[in-house]
Amino acid sequence: MSILHIVNHPLIQHKLTIMRNKDTGSKDFRELLNEISMLMGYEVTKNLATVDVSVMTPICETKKPFLATDKIAVVPILRAGLGMTDGLLKLIPFAKVGHIGLYRDETTHEPVEYYCKLPTGIEDFVVIVVDPMLATGGSSSSALTFLKLRGVKDVRLMCLVAAPEGISYVQKYHPDVDIYVAAVDEKLNQDKYIVPGLGDAGDRIFGTK
Ligand code: PRP
Ligand code: URA
């Protein structure tokens, strides 16, 4: 069963509150999103497998843990997921990056796919899908379905702010995927925006409105 991890760290909550403020500009918004992503990355990667390897210290040889795989991919959902990518790459510098382009149709609110480029051999990677907003869950769920069709077995979803509706939707269709969020907000409004939320994440990251 999918586990919902709410990463309720005071630093993350503090930074998120600044991001929610409508007067916070794009530069600060981007920086805070990357900082939070790095902090959340600690939780998302907490259960990565390790194997004991030999290491020669200046004193003696010993066996110590090492990541069992370097096949880790960060997959941002374009556009807004890009805002979480650098923060995660700071933590996992050897990770590969795939891109899935989806936008929500403004009338139907259904996700529309327009781009996809994934690392070769993605089926053997631990994949972290990132998108700041989990609203209806349509975009994240489509991205997860797409990755599973490409053979991905170990995939987790990292979002900043989620609506209860989006969490239920993803858990219904992807009961095998753990979800990591910094906050679960109240609800969606009639335009399917998260309330209180932080507005349109893509526009705030890229200054397009
Ligand atoms: C936003 C957000 C998610 C999606 C969430 O993207 O970044 O991808 O909406 O909504 P959902 O859970 O209801 O699918 P948007 O479609 O605005 O595209 P953008 O990132 O290009 O701005
Ligand atoms: N997409 C956003 O960027 N914000 C929301 O609140 C919902 C979807």
pLDDT in tens, 149-167: 999 999 999 999 999 999 9
What's the CA-to-centroid distance between 106 and ligand 2, angstroms?
Answer: 11
The verdict on the CB of residue 201 being under 6 Å from ligand 2 is: yes
Residue 1: the pLDDT is 82
> 79 an active-site residue?
no
Q: How far is CA 39 from the centre of its chain?
A: 12
Q: What is the pLDDT of residue 109?
A: 85
Q: What is the rounded average pLDDT for all residues in the chain?
A: 97
> Is the per-residue pLDDT at 105 higher than 90?
no
**63-95 pLDDT per residue, tens:** 999 999 999 999 999 999 999 999 999 999 999
d(CA 170, CA 21): 27
* Number of residues written out for the chain: 209
- Whether 46 shows a pLDDT value over 90: the answer reads yes
Which stretch of 32-36, 47-51, 102-106 has the lowest confidence by average pLDDT? 102-106
Mean pLDDT of 121-132: 98
With a cut of 90, say whether residue 106 has pLDDT above it.
no
What's residue 110's pLDDT? 85
Percent of the chain residues past pLDDT 70, beyond the cut: 100
Instruction: Give kind and range of the element (H or E) at residue 63.
Output: strand 61-67
Under the banding of pLDDT at 50, 70 and 90, the label for residue 103 is confident
Q: What mean pLDDT is predicted for residues 186-207?
A: 98
Residue in this structure with the two tokens 């989806």, named with its chain if needed: 102
pLDDT surpasses 90 at 130 = yes
Number of C-beta neighbours around residue 59 at 10 A: 6
- Segment 15-34 shows an average pLDDT of 98
Question: What is the C-alpha separation between 34 and 28, in angstroms, rounded?
Answer: 10
Residue 105 falls in the annotated catalytic set: no
Placement of tokens 């994440």 in the chain: 201
Ligand 1 atom nearest 132 alpha carbon: 7
Q: Kindly report the protein residue whose alpha carbon is nearest to atom 3 of ligand 2.
A: 200
Phi, psi of 197 (to 5 degrees): 60, -155
